[in-house]
Structure 1
């Protein structure tokens, strides 16, 4: 069986907070629900996270007007506390997240395989907006 080579998209943000806080806010459901959406008319009303290799996670992303929602989830393949997370989404695409000290903060880099439905630039912008929400939430809470 031939496997299609997927386009990999990389986004990043420099979060001005200690690694312990960055890790906590990136992984705890009560924080995920505060930042996991790409626009102000969306929200994340539910989240669960079993942060360990083989553990599953799921976050519900929904339009605030109730018109649409979906679950973003997958299974972890690698978890190195304060350093790296890797997982496979429910559609089979792979994601790697790294956390590294830089400039007095933590540089968070996400590399993910693009899906085939939407343009690459649209996916990059959506994921970057969510990562920017994470940065803002972590730096201001």
Structure 2
């Protein structure tokens, strides 16, 4: 049984907006990378059981890139999403709203190639980018 890693953040926005920005390809491309030297040039999501989630992540200098792909196992909009990665690791995202903010909790099975802390930091960095993106959207609409 693989180790499970949990990361989380709290975003000062309603759950419906957070869900939309988390699951829509036109938004995913703006936040789905761990470091500013990377980007996500393309993404697609078929948001249903058996649907496919794909995102291309690349270093901006073109030195490295990879395709992140998963099959969606469960969708309960706007609170719950479960998918299985190509290497059979599971990822679970839960969202809960309270006091005009949304807590986002991501639990994922660790892989065996990199230290657990490195994996936690990488996924947390992506979640932090997401939070920053959501907050910037709120600011731009105010």
TM-score range, shorter chain: over 0.9
- Match status 1:52 vs 2:48: yes
Q: Distance in 1 between matches of 2:98 and 2:10?
A: 8
RMSD: 0.7
Does 1:91 find its partner at 2:56?
no
Give the corresponding residue for 2:140: none
1:80 aligns with 2:93: no
**Count of residue pairs the alignment pairs up:** 137
CA shift at 1:103, angstroms?
Answer: 3.9
Question: Deviation of residue 101 (structure 1)?
Answer: 1.1
Q: What corresponds to 1:125 in structure 2? A: 121
Alpha-carbon deviations, 1:83-106, whole Å to 9, x = none? 100000011100100000134200
- For normalisation by structure 2, the TM-score amounts to 0.95
1:93–1:114 CA contact under 8 A, matched in 2: yes
1:28-70 CA-to-partner distances (Å, cap 9, x unmatched) read 1110000000001100001000010000010000000001100
Supply the distance in 1 between the matched residues of 2:106 and 2:69 (Cα, whole angstroms): 16
Q: Quick one: distance in 1 between partners of 2:76 and 2:109?
A: 21
Q: Hey, which bits of structure 1, 4+ residues long, moved more than 4 A?
A: none
Which 5+ residue runs of structure 1 have no aligned equivalent? none
User: What are the equivalent positions in structure 2 for 1:26-37 lying under 5 Å apart?
Assistant: 26-37=22-33
TM-score under structure 1 normalisation?
0.95
5+ residue gaps in structure 2? Answer: 138-142
In the alignment, the residues of structure 1 paired with residue 48 and residue 68 of structure 2 have an alpha-carbon distance, to the nearest angstrom, of 17
Instruction: Select the residue among 36, 40, 43 that pairs with 1:40.
Output: 36
